[in-house]
Every structure is written in structure tokens, then in C-alpha cells.
Amino acid sequence: MDRKKKKALEAKGYKVGSVDEFLGLSKEESEYIELKLALSQALAKRRKQRDLTQVQLAKILDSSQSRIAKMEKGDPTVTLDLLVKSLLAMGATKKNIAKMIALGQIRDVHK
């Protein structure tokens, strides 16, 4: 947010801060959420690049379409373990996954 907008909001009595501050998240909790979201986005991107539907991916993973949707949206009930196993089942390598984690975002999951 630019300084002008921040000052204008504060002048109107609004508190301006980060999502982490608002939710009271520690640095570790915030990083964990970012990690899960990065892996969730990677799964969705890999599925789309392989021209698979959520139903088709569910069959590959012996799961359900609704579970795949939850995985791709970063649902809190989805574990990191499940995301990593699913990425591996989709052809990601340990190196791909390590790169996703190191970057904290999805760039090119095929390299």
C-alpha cells in the first residue's frame, strides 16, 4: 500500500497493518501457510499443464474430486504430506518440490 493511501486511512481512524498482524500469526505460522499455498498452487498448475480434470487426478491419487479441490485451494484440512505425495504422483521430483519450497512461489515446476 502506498504511503498516501495509508495516511488517508489512518487519518480516518483505520488501523493499517499486515494480515499476519491482524490474525496474530507468528513468523513461523505465516511461513507455514505460505508453504502450503505454494504447494497447493503447484499441484493445480501441474494438473492443468497435464490437461487433467480434478476428477481424473482424483482417480490417479485414489481420492475424490472434492478432496482435489480442497488441496488446490489450500484448505486447512489438507496436510503438507498429502500435497507432497500428490505432487510426486504427478511427476514432480524432489528437486522440483525443493525449488517450490525455496522460492515460496510457483515459477516453473518442470525444471
pLDDT in tens, the chain (111 residues): 788 888 888 888 887 877 777 788 888 888 888 889 889 999 999 999 999 999 999 999 999 999 999 999 999 999 999 999 999 999 999 999 998 887 764 444 443
- Note whether residue 33 is domain-resident: no
How many domains, in total, are found in the chain? 1
- Note whether residue 53 is domain-resident: yes
Q: What is the pLDDT of residue 22?
A: 74
**Cα 58 → chain centroid:** 18
- Note whether residue 2 is domain-resident: no
pTM of the model: 0.74
Residue 28 and residue 37 in contact, taking contact as beta carbons nearer than 8 Å? no
